[in-house]
Amino acid sequence: MAFKKKDLKPKIAITMGDPRGIGPEVVLKAFARLSHQRVCVPLVLGDFNILTRTAQALNLKLKVVEVAEGFRNFQPESVPVLSLSRFSGKKSPAEIPFQESSRAAFAYVEKAAHLAVTGKVQAIVTAPVSKEAISRIGISFRGHTEYLAEASGTEEFVMMLAGQRLKVALVTTHLPLREVSGLVRAERICSVIEITNQGLQDYFEVTHPRIAVAGLNPHAGENGLFGEEELIISQAVRQVSQKGLFVSGPWPADTLFYRAKQGEFDAVVCMYHDHGLIPLKLLHFEDAVNITLGLPFIRTSVDHGVAYDIAGQNRANARSMQAAIQLAAQMAAKKRKAQNLKTNSQNEEK
């Protein structure tokens, strides 16, 4: 979808997250911090009453405005909300019924996916939801990443977690550890490397990305002594290297992340969820951003959970949400620029 000249800033749908969690708080705190530099034309998908109460409780100088579906350029201190649920503004997060909260949390994501797939927004930024809570009410939901891929008909996608000093991409995402080994396949690893490489080029201005691939087993298998998965990983690395990509591995994970932090690599491809998220969160616990690469639209997210235990206590840190909104806007701007260059080039050829 090409931007019109009057669209100076990207349209971004921001989901409120679980009403029982810290989503409303981090969304509003991020808006407050970004009010002096509005980076996008936002639309929050959530609950007007909850956001209004939360803004008042936090004593934020923000005006929550209920809107119909559509985008308008409000004042920077305004928070436009498409209210998809209607909870009592007098209730604390813990008093909101579990089933209703979970159903609403999913509805916000579902609406965001529809807006993105139909081209009405250029990006989605998601606040946290509980996979368990949504699943317990009978909705099949393994996470935002998998749901958005399915909703957009995307077969090959990558979950990347990004911070200033470390970026990791995952071969497998939300599944039991015992299933990982069987899903370590050369074609999947190749796809993750290639999508990660393209993402670094498109959105992080890395012309020739240096990608390291972590081994699955201790010491990267020690030449088969501790497992044979590294033989498959090596095969994938060779295949992708033959295409001209700067990729190496499999490297022992216990030393690889130190090397990546020191700047030797631009990203690390990991075999499973905690493989990459433990070092990433050690370095970027407050400001990491979750990115889904490979979708037909941009999607970023906070890199933390619903934190029910501190919801409604003004204790949530909004740095990850702020970073997610800023990065989504930057990615959308880069995508727009690339599309415009492509369009201009095609016109010149005619």
CB 45, CB 75: distance < 8 Å: no
Same domain, 92 and 63: yes
Domain-located, residue 89: yes
What the block records as the tokens of 131 is 């996979």
Kindly write down the DSSP assignment for every residue of 19-73, as one continuous string: TTTTHHHHHHHHHHHHGGG--SEEEEEEEHHHHHHHHHHTT---EEEE--SS---
Same domain, 20 and 97: yes
Give the per-residue pLDDT at 347: 64
Same domain, 175 and 57: no
What's the whole-model pTM score?
0.91
Count of domains forming the chain: 2
Same domain, 269 and 310: no
Same domain, 147 and 181: no
Closest by CA to 17, choosing from 73, 72, 84, is 84
Domain-located, residue 344: yes
CATH code for the domain of 52: 3.40.718.10
**Residue linked to tokens 């990305």:** 209
Taking the C-alpha atoms of residue 187 and residue 194, their distance in angstroms, rounded to an integer, is: 11
Domain end marker among 253, 283, 313 = 283
Please count the other Cβ atoms lying within 10 Å of the Cβ belonging to residue 342: 11
Kindly write down the DSSP assignment for every residue of 189-221, as one continuous string: HHHHHHHHHHHHHHHH--SS-EEEEE-SSGGGG
Note the helical H segments in 128-248.
131-136, 144-151, 180-183, 186-204, 229-241
Element (H, E) at 169: strand 167-170
Domain end marker among 254, 283, 312 = 283
Same domain, 308 and 245: no
Which regions of the chain are under pLDDT 70?
A: 1-7, 221, 225, 342-350
Please count the other Cβ atoms lying within 10 Å of the Cβ belonging to residue 344: 10
Same domain, 145 and 16: yes
Domain-located, residue 124: yes
CB 113, CB 153: distance < 8 Å: no
Domain-located, residue 234: yes
The helix/strand/coil state of 299 is strand
Give the per-residue pLDDT at 46: 98
Same domain, 256 and 329: no
**Residue linked to tokens 């100088």:** 61
Same domain, 146 and 31: yes
Q: Which domain holds residue 200?
A: 164-283
Domain-located, residue 290: no
Taking the C-alpha atoms of residue 116 and residue 12, their distance in angstroms, rounded to an integer, is: 9
Beta pairing, strands 41-47 & 267-270: unpaired
What the block records as the tokens of 263 is 């700047």
